[in-house]
Structure 1
Amino acid sequence: SRADLPDGPVDGVVIANELLDNLPSRLLERTPDGWAEVYVSAREPAGAGELIETLCPVAPEVQDAADALAPRAPEGGRLPLAAEAVEWVGRALALLRRGSLVVVDYTDTSASLAARPHREWVRTYRAGVRGHEPLRHPGRCDITVEVPLDQVLGVYPTEEVCDQATFLRSLGIEDLVAEGRALWHDRAAVGDLAALEARSRVHEAEALCDASGLGAFTVAVWRRE
């Protein structure tokens, strides 16, 4: 893995596994007067240490963009603007001379996100445990959002979009599982490393293809020939 994209052209495969959800997004909220941006500030008196949300006006072009992305958003509905995710995909594709860019992440559409409670899709993780209060424990937890994939596809379209389970099955994961099951059946009594690896392969594949978990992640692929 790398901290960032390479400087030069790429011939091969670039895989972004749960990367885009970690890139910063602007957060808007629909108000009676239109869209406003959600900022974070410190509650007075200064130094009290409590963080609060503040709504601030946005430029007309941001209003128009948000209206186009989520025209039926209810009052109080929130919308992420994922410009950095769009920019990252653009950089990756600009470097990709021959090969594929594969993005794996939890995603939704802008309109759907605006209609859902934002605490469902603004996620925090601390020590591997999911939370729901992004202003708690500042600097000590990860804050992510479900990726509004339509914003990425609107700039960099691709027809190759499916869930992770479908993607892995297209690559033959079921054959690997069958091999693992057969090896485990033959060597379970021995219990050696090969047997344990075979059993692990089966369990890991089940988790990766679980429709209620990782299998529901989105996979988007861009190709350069």
Structure 2
Amino acid sequence: MNELRDWIVEQIRVRGPVTFARYMEWALYHPEWGYYTSDRRKIGKEGDFYTAPSINPVFAEVLADEIAGKGGSARVVIEFGGGEGRLARDMLSRWASEHRAFYEQLTYSIVEISPALRQIQRELVGEHVEKVRWVTEQELQAEANLGTPRLTSSTGAGDARLRGVHGVIVTNELVDAYPVHRVTRTTDGLREIYVTADLQEQYGPLSDPALETYVQTYAPGMIVGQTIEVNLAGLAWYERSLQLLSSGQILTIDYGYEADMLHHLSRRSGTLRGFYRHTLTDDPYQHIGQQDLTADVNFSALRDVGESGGWHTDFFGSQAQYLLQSGILNRLTNAWSADPFRDPDMKRNRAIKSLILPGGLGEHFKVLVQSSPNLYNKTE
């Protein structure tokens, strides 16, 4: 019995065919049975996939050193989609031990929609729990006073800039989790994929004019029969997130490509896929609510959103390049043990190799770092 499947089928019977993006939203985020909102284990051996923070704390340590060293005077860190809390825990531990002044002034906010994951995060951060607060994106927007002019204390004159906050936003495997539209070029032009009540696919008109604009900008070479994913929701989130900060950085880690590679003809069917118990699946209509659905991220589009808003691209490249540039090889130790699978130094060395070697996480995952124009001129 699959209650979510039955619920989705009934919704489509009442409403008529829905875009794949709407179907994917229901499958992942239904308040009770959605993949990300349910209490089903998702990460690690008992889940469906691994993430870089789940491999070894060394990943978080590199990020923590980078944030503390290059985040200007920021003392606010916001993590969207905190998973089980390992990245937060390990970065907080690193700051506490190696960047004490930064840690003592820090406020760490996690935006997490899943009640089950929030509870896991709260337990996992342990001794750092007093440093962490759990908020919604809407609460952050209210705090930033978006769209409200700021009055100066000396003259009372309106300041045209948004109030925002001075901080760092960090995400790991977030953007790929937003629902995607699926667009196909046919002999009749661009068409969007819709889902019917019997969970079959059919073509229909584009549901949003932004889809055609996206194709013209990022996939002008689409041929008849080619399907691509368009992550309008992820791009909208990125734009909103930039507006949360009056100054600072946003660090995005995810799997994906630049547009010309992402929408290359070799990916004629797109990149949509599922993960179920560490098995790659190609049928989004199986295991509804029990498998992760995801598609690769268009980093060209993310970068353009930031740069069009005046943000500077400090870094874009593979995760391996980012980690190497950040000195991860200096964390290797000359270790040997009769029990290499339990020795912490040898486990750490293996983790570093897995994060940077070609063909693995370090190659497919990309890192985008953008900063506000006034980051390094910020005075407190």
TM-score, normalized by length of structure 1? 0.82
Contact residue 36 and residue 57 of structure 1 kept, 8 A: yes
Q: CA deviation at 1:60?
A: 6.0
Match of 2:256 among 97, 103, 107: 107
What's 1:203 paired with? Answer: 350
Name the CA distance, whole Å, in 2 between partners of 1:202 and 1:122: 33
> Which stretch shifts more, 104-113 or 131-140?
104-113
Structure 1 residues 16 and 118 mapped into 2: Cα distance closer, same or farther (>3 Å)? farther
> Which stretch shifts more, 158-167 or 21-30?
158-167
What's 1:156 paired with? Answer: 306
What's 1:72 paired with? Answer: 221
Q: Encode CA deviations 1:104-150: one digit per residue, 9 max, x unaligned.
A: 11112444444234556111011232211112222211110001222
Structure 1 residues 84 and 119 mapped into 2: Cα distance closer, same or farther (>3 Å)? same
Name the CA distance, whole Å, in 2 between partners of 1:112 and 1:52: 29
Q: Does 1:32 align with 2:182?
A: no
Structure 1 residues 38 and 105 mapped into 2: Cα distance closer, same or farther (>3 Å)? same
* Structure 1 counterpart SS, 2:179: coil
Name the CA distance, whole Å, in 1 between partners of 2:189 and 2:351: 46
Q: CA deviation at 1:68?
A: 3.2
Structure 1 residues 67 and 93 mapped into 2: Cα distance closer, same or farther (>3 Å)? closer
Contact residue 80 and residue 148 of structure 1 kept, 8 A: no
* Structure 1 counterpart SS, 2:343: helix
Name the CA distance, whole Å, in 1 between partners of 2:268 and 2:357: 24
What's 2:286 paired with? Answer: 136
Q: Percent identity?
A: 26
Count of residue pairs brought into register by the alignment: 210
Structure 1 residues 156 and 165 mapped into 2: Cα distance closer, same or farther (>3 Å)? same
Alignment of structure 1 residues 113-192 onto 2, 5 Å? 113-114=262-263, 115-117=265-267, 121-157=271-307, 158=313, 160-177=315-332, 180=333, 182=334, 184-185=335-336, 188=337
Name the CA distance, whole Å, in 1 between partners of 2:304 and 2:224: 25
Name the CA distance, whole Å, in 1 between partners of 2:328 and 2:204: 49
Q: Encode CA deviations 1:40-96: one digit per residue, 9 max, x unaligned.
A: 1123xxxxxxx1111101266643442332122111111222111111111222122
Contact residue 77 and residue 116 of structure 1 kept, 8 A: no
* Cα-Cα RMSD: 2.5
Q: Which structure shows the bigger proportion of residues in strand conformation?
A: 1
What's 2:104 paired with? Answer: none
Name the CA distance, whole Å, in 2 between partners of 1:134 and 1:152: 25
Name the CA distance, whole Å, in 1 between partners of 2:197 and 2:367: 38
Contact residue 30 and residue 78 of structure 1 kept, 8 A: yes
| Structure having greater relative contact order (Cα 8 Å, sep ≥ 6) | 1
Name the CA distance, whole Å, in 1 between partners of 2:260 and 2:205: 21
* Structure 2 counterpart SS, 1:156: helix
What's 1:223 paired with? Answer: 371
Paired amino acid for 2:226: G
Contiguous gaps of at least 5 residues in structure 1: 44-50
* Structure 1 counterpart SS, 2:225: coil
* Structure 2 counterpart SS, 1:87: helix
TM-score, normalized by length of structure 2? 0.51
Q: Which runs of 4+ in 1 moved over 6 A?
A: none
Name the CA distance, whole Å, in 2 between partners of 1:36 and 1:73: 12
